[in-house]
Amino acid sequence: MRDTYDLVIVGAGPGGYVAARKAASLGMSVALIDRGSAGGTCINRGCIPAKALLHAATLYREMTTCERFGLHAEGISFDLQKIYEYKDMAADRMREELEEEFRQLDVDLIRGSAVICRDRKVRVTDEVGTTSVCQGKNILVAAGAKANLVDLPGMDLPGVMTSEELLTADAHKYDRMLILGGGVIGLELATVFQSLGTEVTVVEISDRLLPNMDREFSDALERILTGRGIRICKESILERIEQEKESGRLVCRFVCDGRNNKEVVDAVLVSVGRSPATEGLFESDVPVKLERGRIVVDDFFRTNIPGVYAVGDVTGGIQLAHVASAQAAYVVERMNGRKPSVIISMVPGGLFTPVSIIPSCIYTDPEIASVGLTEEEARRKGVPVRCGKYVMQGNGQSIIAGEEEGFIKVLFAPDSDELLGAQLMCPRATDMIGELATALANGLTSTQLLYAMRAHPTFNEAISCAVEDSRKDFPV
């Protein structure tokens, strides 16, 4: 550990480790500080373990329904302990690859709790209480976010967990589970545990699942999940959790459809969003500007303190790993006088409103992905759009795979014909959205999107069908 670095990074998640990689490759001396392991929440307690469980659970569900393909298998079962070991292996391998990259790039990975002090100094306290101080010519804060809790009776009972606690817990077979929150994380984990035989109830306070997505996606996913046996309770409020004395199981009391409900479960997953992790991050005499717990930054991710930047969840913006990574790369490139290679939003020709080009992905089964404007958002903003849609039941690869339902929707500007947004609900949607994000970032038109052939049979060729549908009333 040196006394002074070109860049001191607080937080080793997707924002921090991308910044460290980029800065070191550009010749900067870098210190990367985190109280936990490299990779932050994403690799260790979030994205990677969750997606590993989703992969295993989806494979198991497919095996149990393989007779529709003329296949027959007896005694299909799963070993939950080995599934959890596989989940841990995926996280371990990614973390080890990351740490090896740091060694090769000469990045100092410092484990401990960081407090940012005046004059761009950072005090680090390790797990045994030893304190050290390093100074940065620049400081980048990428401390991430923490799971929100709910102030309800019984939230401190054993078996009530956040997603981070659930994903790092020992393997346990839950017969029944209640999930509080019908957002991305809650529904992904609902898919996992229902596929592995758990009876799942989702309690959501709003009038639909995935409140930030178009209702069309929410309704379609609800039909699929309900068809698989997941109970969905919308416009519902969890009032309290109690514990049975004899069995130790949890009694959840909630209001659904105006009626009092009670469910006895083995576990409760609280998935109601995340908040910036800024508590204790700055020394009391450091005048950093905070707003409702988030670090306030300008368009260049600068805080009000010269030389101190912040990216990712800690700024209270869009809470996605790839957003933090893109912002981190942007900051480091600007520090080195380079033109940033990534943009976050753009203003298409003829519009007066910026359009986000950040892809959003939901790893349910089927997958959901979105980029740019949605039809509902366009309507709210008064942006005219020309829509095209293709229902996946007619897609050859969907028929081969026996998929239940899905669709692709694309939105174009009526006059300029530029792509304004796209939403996909189908297998491989999270991979396919990259093509449409690239098209959006480069202002491609429906005509240009049809220049390239898409192979047959693939899920991807349905993009061509949706684009063609958007041109029904468009002059050729």
Q: What is the helix (H) or strand (E) element at residue 86, kind and residue range?
A: helix 80-105
User: How many helices (DSSP H) and strands (DSSP E) are in the chain?
Assistant: 13, 26
CB neighbourhood size of 454 (10 A): 16
DSSP state of 392: G
One-letter amino acid at 207 equals: D
Structure tokens at 21: 């990689």
d(CA 22, CA 461): 35
Catalytically annotated residue among 55, 172, 322, 456:
456
- For residue 84, count CB atoms less than 10 angstroms from its CB and return exposed for 0-12, middle for 13-18, buried for 19 or more: buried
117-126 LR contacts (CB < 8 Å, sep 24+): 117/283, 117/286, 118/283, 118/285, 118/286, 120/8, 120/307, 120/308, 122/8, 122/10, 122/31, 122/33, 123/283, 124/33
CB neighbourhood size of 275 (10 A): 18
Strand pairing report for 160-162 and 267-270: parallel
Residue pair 238/150 in contact by the 8 Å Cβ criterion: yes
Residue 72 appears among annotated catalytic residues: no
Considering only CA atoms, which of 447, 457, 395, 386 is closest in space to residue 426? 395
- Categorise residue 396: left if φ over 0, alpha if ψ from -120 to 50, beta otherwise: alpha
| Phi, psi values for residue 443, rounded to 5° | 65, 35
d(CA 174, CA 142): 35
* Bridge partner list, 291: 294
| Phi, psi values for residue 119, rounded to 5° | 60, 30
Considering only CA atoms, which of 337, 380, 410, 312 is closest in space to residue 40? 312
- Residues marked as catalytic: 456
